Amino acid sequence: MSEGRLVVITGAARGLGRAIAQRFAEDRLVLGDVRAEQLEETAEALRATGTRVHSAPLDVADRSSVSSFARVVEELGGADVLVNNAAKADGVGGDSFWELDEERFEELVQINVAGTWMMSKHLVGPMLERGSGAIVNIASDAAFYGSPRLVHYVGSKGAVLAMTRTMARDAGPHGVRVNAVAPGLTRVEATEGVPADRYALYRDNRALAHDPEPSDVADVVHFIASEAAGYMTGQALVVDGGFVMPT
């Protein structure tokens, strides 16, 4: 039996990350998250269904943690697919940009922007050598909409979208594709603190009536990493039921 692809998913302990891991269950998985206990629970649940899973602690904002995690992936043969899902969102609907604390801004940019870049930098090598591979960066539809009172998160996810385009141009001549998926507001553990009025905004203004599920995002991530999307790179697919419709 073929070993199959090695798919690396960051921020995989819960929420969207866990749903994405479940969608890639036919592949070999390497899961990383800063929440070690929840990460192992997710890994064990997947192993119970027959999925081949390695898990390792990972803080994408810490250089040494990223390096250690990358060595684990390298020992397993190198990633065929990297899903940069690890991120932080806080203060949704809170401070206007002139009220936001500098440290909060810097912390979130370090995780969401630098973390995405560092993971890609450390794991892309084997893809370049093989002449194939896919990186999927998880952005947010907030970067298209310009969600108010959320400048640190919106700015970081806008940077992820911009980096995706440059990464695609850098890696494209080597046969490696880089795309982004931009989910809308989805009820998961990471969004428990989002105010009710923000959920209402999405509910009242999206084209599709039903509430989103994490699996809706996971399905698109799985597609964009597949050979069915083999001629797609540098793109961003919005998965929010038609709340924003970028041109």
Predicted confidence (pLDDT) per residue in 9-38, tens digit: 999 999 999 999 999 999 999 999 999 999
Average model confidence (pLDDT) for the chain?
Answer: 94
Q: What span, in angstroms and rounded, lies between the C-alpha atoms of 79 and 5?
A: 8
Q: Which residues pair with 30 in a beta bridge?
A: 8, 54
Question: What's the pTM value of the predicted model, to 2 decimals?
Answer: 0.96
φ and ψ at 199, to 5 degrees? -60, -40
β pairing state of 53-57 and 6-10: unpaired
Instruction: Tell me the catalytic residues.
Output: 153
The DSSP result for 33-97, as a single string, is ES-HHHHHHHHHHHHTTT--EEEEE--TT-HHHHHHHHHHHHHTT--SEEEE-------TT---T
Question: For residue 49, with 0-12 CB atoms within 10 Å meaning exposed, 13-18 middle and 19 or more buried, which class applies?
Answer: exposed
Predicted confidence (pLDDT) per residue in 122-132, tens digit: 999 999 999 99
The percentage of residues in the chain with a pLDDT greater than 90, rounded to a whole number, is 87
pLDDT for 1 beyond 50 = no
- Whether 132 and 178 have beta carbons less than 8 Å apart is answered as no
Q: What span, in angstroms and rounded, lies between the C-alpha atoms of 89 and 16?
A: 13
Beta-carbon contacts of residue 127 (< 8 Å; ≥ 6 apart): 78, 79, 80, 133, 134, 135, 171, 174, 175, 176
Predicted confidence (pLDDT) per residue in 124-177, tens digit: 999 999 999 999 999 999 999 999 999 999 999 999 999 999 999 999 999 999
Question: Higher pLDDT residue, 73 or 198?
Answer: 73
φ and ψ at 207, to 5 degrees? -75, -35
- Whether 208 and 242 have beta carbons less than 8 Å apart is answered as yes
Q: What's at 27, amino acid-wise?
A: D
pLDDT band for position 91 (cuts 50, 70, 90): low
What are the structure tokens assigned to 122, written together?
A: 């450390």
Beta-carbon contacts of residue 67 (< 8 Å; ≥ 6 apart): 122
Q: Which structural domains are found in the chain, ordered by start? A: 6-239 (3.40.50.720)
